[in-house]
A and B are shown apart, each in its own frame.
Chain A
């Protein structure tokens, strides 16, 4: 089985869907001849032709509007928004149109589109190339939001997203594109090669949306994470030696509530980890759900370890980033080891 980086796995998913379904097409800024600024669409235009993978004007709202029209027609467009920070001009299209079209037309028109976009920091991208906007999509009913953490998951989830009949926001943790970054910027990041989840099959396979993965079983506490933070959490757990269970949500809508509840009821403790700023972040929703469903099992307050409530700060990137040290402190607090 070939070993792939996350970029190669995403590229493989797109290539396999282009080959599989003539209704799939890709467009976005710089995705055509050039193959995308992160190379996720590299070679697809050459292999599948101009009409299957082409450049779009720098107009994110227009890109999503066009994709919705294509989706309503019956195609399965996979538009790329170059950075998740640039998705905001298209927010009205996603909220007022993609998420509402099925509802308001009683299913006469739908928007089966998959919006791919790299998110997250850790690349010295400053405030316009680093944000994690997942919460603003999770809040919008009618949208699904998927965030992979490994090459294997990235391919299986992207294929499932493209085949899904509802609009999907597919956020790609750009810090994981080339290796399982664990939140330690002072250390060399290993590449994906050799990582078990970098073994990616050729051909189509699906990971159902809404199914979390238990990355590490444990008894002492539950850590809920997705995207880049899955690797940060694993590294932190290994460093501190606390026997925590690590759940990779993989998609936040639909959310695998059963996996969350089962784990927290078992461990009695919960730490939520995300890179987005804390106030109003998705961690608040997770915390509320855990409180509502696991209150009598909880031995300690639910903790959130998140980015600070500031814009993404360029020079202070690693002071902002919720790295292993902060998670370890939180794990020690909830387990009473502090």
Chain B
């Protein structure tokens, strides 16, 4: 075929001297299955090494914070440095209990899925400190716009366990009446906004909520959460724009657990920059925090909350953590990352670290820990048993008429007719 163009284009590269051909870069993690796992690229800092600015410090003076790592608990279990939040033993033990309850619940309900008792489950193993510390650090008038790895928020506020299991089983006692996928809870009275499977779409709701609170002159603030993968969504950036523009009393957080299903953080844009550094362009403070350090999470959340409550606007916090489990019950992480990668994670396990701290300050021991574990295990077992008595997935479900409820406040004729067509 003859070219339409007067000058035919050759496929042969014609390079100018000293110029390399262009090359498309596709980011790859440091190790895939069968390769040696390591986290040598992860920038760390010593516990206690980062100064804690006053909350009214201007943003221009905190621009180094996205590129360091705020940590409180050192390797010996001591709380060190200016970010140590000074919690009493009772608070610390309550935090440990909520984290442990979360982990035990996750393990048992994951097994329930494998036993065919539900259709779906997601664990937050290794990330428990984030939701629990935030839940305890924030107040009853504040609203969390959670990710699906924030069961700890509800655990820290003593949400009834059997209601959780009923929701997971979509049984007749499901508080969401069978309309929502397991674990996508909604618990307004517990400061827990309605979850959905797509995370970024509610980041802006957190900003709107916070703006509404400010508009009314109320006291509550909002907490928006996404994962590392979601930072690539436009929703993330639009929420940050609105938060910055209107100085909304909101804390916007990225749980960087290293993996978005099978994509490592480089695919989300963090091969050279940190997620906390996204804050820089919006002119708001960005903190990078050890997410496996209960005390650091608490302290960073509290710092951001104090700023929000003082009308100083929003803060972006990146919590550096590791997703120990698969993305969900439908995922097998050994397909895309080294099997033993979790063992190489440099920031340890959040439960073990808080436990070591409690032992180091002399308020805890192995015996009490074993007793607490047993007690929580019994509680979870009892809740699962109670929910099983109502029924597991398929064996029991809410009245089918619930399918037609809550589409609108008042159903229109379509819903009414279809309800009748179904024989209701």
Q: Which residues of A contact B (CB under 8 A)?
A: 25, 51, 56-57, 59, 61-62, 64-75, 77, 89, 92-93, 96-97, 100-110, 141-142, 144, 165-166, 210, 253-255, 257
Q: Besides A97-B201, A144-B408, 8 other CB < 8 A contacts? A: A56-B242, A62-B239, A69-B208, A70-B208, A104-B180, A104-B184, A105-B188, A254-B413
Q: Please tell me which one of the listed residues B186, B202, B205, B206 contacts residue A106 in the complex, with CB atoms under 8 A apart.
A: B186
A73 contacts B175, C-beta separation under 8 Å: no
Q: How far is the CB of A104 from chain B (nearest CB, A)?
A: 5
A-B contact pairs, 24 of them (CB 8 A): A57-B238, A62-B238, A65-B242, A69-B212, A72-B193, A92-B198, A92-B201, A97-B205, A102-B406, A102-B409, A103-B406, A103-B407, A104-B184, A105-B176, A106-B179, A106-B186, A106-B405, A108-B186, A108-B194, A109-B193, A110-B409, A144-B408, A255-B413, A257-B413
Query: CA–CA, A101 to B406, complex, Å?
Result: 9
Provide the bound-state CA to CA distance between A67 and B208, in Å: 6
Chain A residue contacts of B407, Cβ below 8 A: 102-103, 141-142
B interface residues (Cβ-Cβ under 8 A, vs A): 175-177, 179-180, 184, 186-188, 193-194, 196, 198, 201-213, 215-216, 222, 234-235, 238-239, 241-242, 245, 405-409, 412-414
In the complex, are the beta carbons of B242 and A59 less than 8 A apart? yes
- The interface residues of chain A lying within 8 Å CB-to-CB of B203 are 65
Complex formed: what's the CA distance from A127 to B209 in Å?
A: 35
Q: A51-B215, A70-B211, A102-B406 are in contact. Are A254 and B412 (CB under 8 A)?
A: yes
| A contact residues around B210 at 8 Å (CB) | 69
Per a CB cutoff under 8 Å, which of A51, A73, A92, A166 touches B208? A73
Q: How far is the CA of A75 from the CA of B177 in the complex (A)?
A: 26
Q: Which residue of B lies closest to A110 (CB)?
A: B409
Q: How far is the CA of A92 from the CA of B230 in the complex (A)?
A: 15
State in angstroms the CA–CA spacing of A59 and B407 once bound together.
28
Q: Is the CB of A70 within 8 A of B186?
A: no
Q: How far is the CA of A62 from the CA of B224 in the complex (A)?
A: 14
| A96-B198 contact in complex given A25-B215, A69-B208, C-beta closer than 8 Å | yes
B209 near A103 with CB under 8 A, answer: no
CB proximity of A54 to chain B, nearest CB, Å:
9
Minimum distance in angstroms from A287 CB to a CB of chain B: 16
CB distance A109 to B215 under 8 Å?
A: no
Tell me the interface secondary structure of chain B in the complex. helix
Partner of A61, one of B215, B234, B245: B234
B211 and A104 form a contact (CB under 8 A): no
Interface centre among A25, A70, A77 (most CB of B within 10 A): A70
B208–A57 touching, CB < 8 Å: no
Contacts of B188 in A (CB 8 A): 105, 108-109
Number of A-B contacts (CB under 8 A): 137
Question: What B residues does A93 contact at CB under 8 A?
Answer: 201, 204
Which residues of B are found within 8 Å of A74, using beta-carbon distances? 212
Closest chain-B Cβ to A261's Cβ sits at a distance in Å of 11
A142 to B415 CA separation, bound complex (whole angstroms) = 11
Please, how many angstroms separate the alpha-carbon atoms of A71 and B186 in the complex?
16
A103, B179: Cβ atoms closer than 8 Å = yes
Q: Are A62 and B186 in contact, CB atoms less than 8 angstroms apart?
A: no
Q: A104-B196, A105-B186 are in contact. Are A66 and B207 (CB under 8 A)?
A: yes
Query: Taking A69-B209, A73-B212 as contacts, is the C-beta distance between A59 and B406 under 8 angstroms?
Result: no
Q: Of all chain B residues, which has the CB nearest A254?
A: B412
By the criterion CB–CB under 8 Å, are B176 and A104 in contact? yes
A57 contacts which chain B residues (CB < 8 A)? 238, 241-242, 245
Q: How far is the CB of B402 from chain A (nearest CB, A)?
A: 9
Bound: A261/B9 CA distance, A: 64
Contacts of B239 in A (CB 8 A): 62, 65
Which of A73, A100, A105, A108 meets B209, CB within 8 Å?
A73
Interchain CB contact under 8 A, B409 and A165: yes
CB distance from B246 to the nearest CB of A (A): 8
Contacts of A67 in B (CB 8 A): 208
In the assembled complex, how far is the CB of residue B420 from the closest CB belonging to chain A, in whole angstroms? Answer: 14
CA–CA, A51 and B202, complex, Å: 23
Which residues from B are CB-within-8-Å of A70?
A: 208-209, 211-212, 215
Alpha-carbon separation in the docked complex, A210 to B205 (Å): 29
Contacts of A64 in B (CB 8 A): 204
Question: Measured between C-beta atoms, what is the minimum distance from A106 to chain B in Å?
Answer: 5
Given contacts A103-B179, A104-B186, contact A65 B408 (CB under 8 A): no
Residues of A near B238 (CB, < 8 A) are 57, 59, 61-62, 65
Report the bound CA distance from A25 to B198 in whole Å.
Answer: 28
Residues on the B chain within 8 Å of A142, using CB: 407-408
- The docked-state distance in angstroms from the alpha carbon of A69 to that of B196 is 14
Find the B residue at minimum CB distance from A59: B238
Given A62-B239, A108-B186, A109-B193, residue A69 in contact with residue B211 (CB < 8 A): yes
Which B residue sits closest to A107, measured CB to CB? Answer: B406
Closest Cβ neighbor of B403 among chain A residues: A103
CB-defined contacts of A166 to chain B, threshold 8 Å: 408-409
Also in contact, A106 and B406, with CB within 8 A (given A65-B203, A65-B205, A65-B207)? yes
Bound CA–CA A254/B415 (angstroms): 11
A71 to B241, CA, bound (A): 19
Interface pairs A-B: 3 shortest CB-CB? A69-B208, A65-B204, A62-B238
A145 to B175, CA, bound (A): 30
A100 touches B211 (CB 8 A): no
Most buried by A among B196, B212, B242: B212
A101 adjacent to B194 (CB under 8 Å): yes
Question: Whose C-beta in chain B lies nearest to the C-beta of A96?
Answer: B201
Given the interface pairs A96-B196, A104-B179, the reply to whether A68 lies near B409 with Cβ below 8 Å is: no
Nearest A residue to B178 via CB reads: A106
Q: Which residues of chain A are within 8 angstroms of B414 by Cβ–Cβ distance?
A: 141
